Structure 1
Amino acid sequence: MTLILGVSAYYHDSAIALIQDGKPIAAASEERFSRKKQDASFPSLALQACLDDSGVCLSDIDYVGFYEKPLLKFERLLETYLAYAPRGYRSFARAMPSWLQTKLHLPREIRKELGDSYKRRIVFCEHHESHAASAFYPSPYRESAILTIDGVGEWATTSWGIGNEHRIDLKQEIRFPHSLGLLYSAFTYFCGFRVNSGEYKLMGLAPYGEPRFASVIHEHLITLFDDGSYRLNMDFFEFCHRLRMTGKRLEKLLGVQRRLPDTPVREVDMDIAASIQAVTEDVVLRMANHVHRQTGLDSLCMAGGVALNCVSNGRLLREGPFKKIWVQPAAGDAGGALGIAWSIWHQMLGNPRTMNPHDCQEGSFLGPALDPEVEVAALLGQGAVAKQYDHEEDLCGCVASLIASGRVVGWAQGRMEFGPRSLGNRSILGDPRNPEMQSTMNLKIKYRESFRPFAPSVLREHAREYFQMAEDSDQPYMLFTSYVNEENRVEQDPAATGIDRVRAVRSDLPAITHLDYSARVQTVDPVRHPRYHALISEFNRQTGCPVLINTSFNVRGEPIVQSAADAYRCFMATEMEVLVVGDYVFLKEEQPESMRQSSEHYLSELEPD
């Protein structure tokens, strides 16, 4: 038995992954345990939780891998600061202490965090090698093209290559500062959202606008070449030498001032969002076409933060040259922990892959499991009130009926998802037929912008009844958008404008149909999602609708819940009406007022994202 620990830490969304003889047995982000969103510290809490859940010890670990090469990254930082000196001094002065104290001494720091139990080798690989490994090795393809796109690792911002059996060969890369991820983040910043967390908001805002700035972006900000490569015009960006992404030059070019955070979203922000989304899709399509010409392969694997842009992925699947695409569910930095662990097992140690006709990601349910008996007992001891169901069919019957009656349900089951999406184990669920549900869930439960769309979870066997998807489509990770079938659509009022359009009924599933008739679909099957599939099947039996709204179980500024205590606190602090933990059902009206007051205090301390 060979046990490998992969670590992603110190930069953004720290995480660990444990792989045993090539099989992932656990993976989790530190933020879920520390309750600090995008926690960048060493993932010690996540590590201990995963070790305990897997029944292994630190002394059992044979290799530790870190997802990038810090010295190469430091070289890039120094060269960039020198190139822009003295303009970048403030940014340089802010970055150097953490590098001098910690990041330049990662072998020492990792050993200190692991204690005396681990004395074996620590392996480092490049950031985009970790992304490529996280994309290809768990995929269902014996051979495929690989495309990784993000902000920046050490130097690389984009790379492509080929995976064959247990080997990966990266062929070409684009280097910093030319970065599609940073271009998208620059517009995230310009539209008043927070970089590294607001990109989803920009993508959700895009359908409300017209891409009238796309030609300006193509003409002045990014140059595309026939081989799929690109260059940014750095005259309009400040991320190389300032503590901000853009400045006055971009405002002058676009003819509008940057929107300040927490101010109303303007019509022009919608148009800017639509424009950068359109440009991003154009660039990804062009790169994919080049990679397809070079490889001649029908399958593509993707990772990196830009691979979480499900709108771009959907368009690539519909219009691009590849017949099949698999995207790593934890495509951002956290997934690098899986990547380095798999890279050690296959690339360094030379072990063959065991193919899975679906994939080897286990539905991405790789986090520690709930212990409902123990965790709910603790809540009951504090005064919470719940009813336990002895049979799954009775539980699903009750919950499906509550959802059908318009209740919003917090649903916490089994192992936690690894990655940014809730996939049916840490989810908030609702009735997609209810035209008020999108606004209700956004404003009264998630406490976020009203325009943010919600995703549908649909029984895989019924997916094509509602969505334009291939007959054999398998999309369990919510990473592609598909269009609602035309026969399910409702014609929109052409007079409606701006955010007011969020309340318009666009289909017979209005709560999950976005402005452009798209939806970020999750297919649900009985193998990956046995209880979730049973719940939706019961909802379908009661209502004739095989679809539920599925959004992450958290509020704005909070990581997705990990434990029953996290779930109960979120349930009590919002207008969520029902909580289900394992076999236990909590109804809001039955809970004591004292539990609500303590939960609301927690909510008030969260930082806005």
Structure 2
Amino acid sequence: MQILGISAYYHDSAAALIRDGIVVAAAQEERFTRKKQDSDFPRNATRFCLEAAQGSAIDHVVFYDKPFLKFERILETYISFAPKGFASFRAGLPIWAKEKLFQRSLLTKELNDLAPGQFASDDLLFSEHHLSHAASAFYPSPFEEALVLTMDGVGEWATTSVAIGRDSELKIIRELVFPHSLGLLYSAFTTYAGFRVNSGEYKLMGLAPYGKPRFAESIRKHLVDVKEDGSFRLNQRYFNYCTGLSMTNARFHNLFGRQPRLPESPLEDFHADIAASIQQVTEDIVLRMTRALARETGQKNLCLAGGVALNCVANGKIAADGAFDNIWIQPAAGDAGGALGAALAAYHLHVKAPRRVCSPDAMSGSALGPEFSLSEVEAALSASGARFTVVPDESLFDETAAALAAGEVVGWFQGRMEFGPRALGNRSILGDPRRSDMQKKFNLKIKFRESFRPFAPSVLAEAAADWFDMSVPTSPYMLTVSTVAEQHRTISAQHAAAHHRLKDQYLVRSDIPAVTHTDFSARLQTVHAEQSPRYHALLKAFETLTGCPMLINTSFNVRNEPIVCTPAEAFTCFMATGMDRLVVGNVMMRKVDQDITLVTDYISRLEMD
């Protein structure tokens, strides 16, 4: 049995295919259209999944939420706040009337444009938004039984949901509903700090360690009423997202004494303090919630999904807290993962098919997207004008490791594209973490983004505990934060605490300064030979050469660009940045050997993300 899951029409649309309960393929539409967080129907991602079906019939198509319930929430919200916000409601109503309320027919038309006559309107199923998230977290997890916590901006009504998963059963037992949303609270501060909602939250999290949480009590006093069990209510007098076109209002701005920061304007310690404050409040809420749920349910395993589950600092705090013995986070925790969750929910809850638990999980290292054969790579790169050589495995890893040890920045393109927001060694840009200049070089000359943003280390799984104080045994999806172990720090905790402001961002704090944040933290990826054999082999070669079992790993893209999908896109990005070398499968090329007339400047066309 094959089931196709689809998420679309909000942000980060995607498609996923499962076969007899096994995840076969999944991809975000943005990777094909090159439109960041593309929200349109995922035509290309769906076509990719249909090709992965290998001509066999699709038994069910499942959409990740219920449009009528969402419209009900929007309608009731505007009625509750009337007449405030009527103009924006009136402006949005034609879109709902045209697209959202007739989504069954719209989806059926889109599907039959791709595969004429294969899809009937009556065969289309609709999951609920938070059930899709919960299913994406529980069913691929390695647990027979678990508590599932989903937190995001908003689905239909729910903003936070609690579910219990047992074998193939999954039941939501509790919800918090709109407008009380931890995701929207965090996003409000994201926009206030001058970053973009749905992408800038990563920046706010990375900015927080440079600040002091001096506004945390003000947030608790005026903005959010948090109960002992982690439930909360937001004071809507300070927000504008229910009926307006902005997240915050004048009362919010007056509370903190400043107007919102303009995008790309200078960052100050004030903004770092704002980030530190909302990060502390967020961690407090999720820790109260997970502790209370652990006590109440007696569950030992925790699964997380939803956009808030991408806050890897909070995830690390949950793991270190010990309320649950084990934690597993869906690598595509945002709305893209809803496509996968919808398919899995249909298989286990609608079809009533049994579940097979996989170890270490059922996500195949999140390598679920397109891949390219050697002949396809050579053809694409030749058409792009690249000058390259084909290097056998016997020397590929050693030669690449030597280039990295010599200070080169390497684009690394291998196997299937990752599903979710993180590059995990298949579409990555790599560098030497021991070099103190690498963090600045990566930000300013490779990624073309703000200089404060930290980079993640990819470390051999078997060596991780020697270098980091692990809050979890493994972190294959780069979704938890650990700290650099004491023996690898070069300054004391007291010295670091006294020098953690934005002006101190280039202070060398450890033996691996390029991946050590101001508070000694690192967003860790553990690399396992069975999940990522080629990436593991490269790390092993680098360790043999240098004694260091890790590399800087950042996604293969520049600011506000989706991660590259094809070899041609990898070459274009390579030629537009300060990368020194590109390795695509077994094809290797150096920047110094390329035709300089192929250098492109598409970065200037991309806005800050």
TM-score tier after normalising by the smaller chain length: over 0.9
One-letter code aligned to 2:211: G
Distance (Å, rounded) in 1 between the aligned partners of 2:572 and 2:25: 25
SS at match of 2:490: coil
Counterpart of 1:94 in structure 2 is 91
Q: What's the offset of the Cα at 1:395? A: 0.4
**Residues in 1 aligned to 2:374 and 2:183: alpha-carbon distance in whole angstroms:** 40
Match of 1:511 among 508, 511, 514: 514
State which drifts further: 316-325 or 274-283.
Answer: 316-325
Tell me, what secondary structure is at the counterpart of 2:407? coil
Mark the CA change 1:382 to 1:296 in structure 2 (over 3 Å): closer, same or farther. closer
1:572-583, aligned counterparts within 5 Å? 572-583=575-586
Match of 2:81 in 1: 84
Matched ranges for 1:294-443 at <5 A: 294-390=296-392, 392-443=393-444
Whether the 8 Å CA contact 2:384–2:568 is kept in 1: the answer is no
Task: Give the structure 1 partner of residue 572 of structure 2.
Answer: 569
Residue 387 of structure 1 and its aligned partner are, at CA, apart by 1.2
Q: Choose 417-426 or 86-95, whichever is displaced more.
A: 86-95
Cα 1:9–1:494, aligned 2, differ >3 Å: closer, same or farther?
closer
Matched position secondary structure for 1:503: coil
Correspondent of 2:594 among 591, 595, 603: 591
Match of 2:62 in 1: 65
Equivalent residue, structure 2, for 1:526: 529
- Per-residue CA distance 1:23-82 (angstroms, 9 max, x = gap): 000000000000000000000011112333x2524x610000000000000000011111
Shift in Å at residue 356 of structure 1? 1.2
Cα distance between partner residues in 2 of 1:218 and 1:260: 25
Q: Which residue of 1 aligns with 2:542?
A: 539
Identity across matched positions, percent: 55
Q: Cα offset for 1:295?
A: 1.1
C-alpha distance in 2, partners of 1:496/1:480? 24
Give the deviation of 1:376 after TM superposition: 2.6
1:364 Cα deviation (Å)?
Answer: 0.6
Larger mean CA deviation between 185-194 and 342-351 belongs to 342-351
Partner of 2:502: 499
Offset of residue 493 of structure 1:
6.2
| 1:161 paired residue number | 163
Is the Cα contact below 8 Å between 1:91 and 1:242 reproduced in 2?
A: yes
How far did residue 228 of structure 1 move?
A: 2.3
Corresponding residue number in structure 1 for 2:130:
128
Asked if 2 retains the 8 angstrom alpha-carbon contact of 1:300 and 1:322, the reply is yes
Determine helix, strand or coil for the equivalent of 2:551.
Answer: strand
Q: Does 1:236 align with 2:238?
A: yes
Letter aligned with residue 401 of structure 1: A
1:258 positional shift = 1.5
> Structure 1 residues 68, 469: closer, same or farther in 2, change over 3 A?
same
Q: CA deviation at 1:11?
A: 0.6
Instruction: Indicate if the aligned counterparts of 1:18 and 1:25 stay in contact, CA closer than 8 A.
Output: yes
Instruction: Find the residue that maps to 1:117 and give its secondary structure.
Output: coil
Residue identity matched to 1:271: D
Deviation per CA, 1:300-321: give whole Å up to 9, x if none: 0010000000000001100140
Q: What is the match of residue 555 of structure 1?
A: 558
SS of 2:276 mapped into structure 1: helix
Contact 2:15/2:45, CA 8 A, preserved across alignment: yes
Match of 2:111 in 1: 114
Q: Deviations over 1:82-137 (max 9, x none)?
A: 11222212321332222111111111011101112222611111100001100000
Q: Retained in 1: the 8 A contact 2:429–2:555?
A: yes
Question: Which residue of structure 1 aligns with residue 295 of structure 2?
Answer: 293
Query: Displacement of 1:381 after TM fit?
Result: 3.5
1:376·1:581 contact (CA, 8 Å) conserved in 2? no
| Structure 2: gaps spanning 5 or more residues | none
**Pair 1:542–1:127, CA change in 2 (3 A):** same
Q: What is the CA distance between 1:495 and its match in structure 2?
A: 6.3
Taking only aligned residues, the RMSD between alpha carbons, in angstroms, comes to 1.3
Worse overlay, 221-230 or 416-425: 221-230
Report the TM-score when normalising by structure 1.
0.97
Q: Following TM superposition, by how much is the alpha carbon of 1:580 offset from its aligned partner in structure 2, in angstroms?
A: 0.6
Mapped to 2, the partners of 1:561 and 1:605 lie a distance apart of: 16
Task: Please tell me the residue identity of whatever aligns with 1:545.
Answer: C
The residue matched to 2:54 in structure 1 has which SS? coil
Say whether the 8 Å CA contact 1:127–1:154 is kept in structure 2. Answer: yes
1:56 aligns with 2:54: yes
2:603 equivalent in structure 1: 603
What is the alpha-carbon distance in structure 2 between the residues aligned to residue 348 and residue 493 of structure 1? Answer: 54
SS in 2 for 1:146: strand
Contact conserved, 1:50 with 1:368, CA < 8 A, in 2? no
Q: Which letter does structure 2 place at the counterpart of 1:473? A: P
Deviations 1:347-386 (CA, angstroms, capped at 9, x unpaired): 1111111111211011110111123321332322442101
**1:155–1:176 contact (8 Å) kept in structure 2:** yes
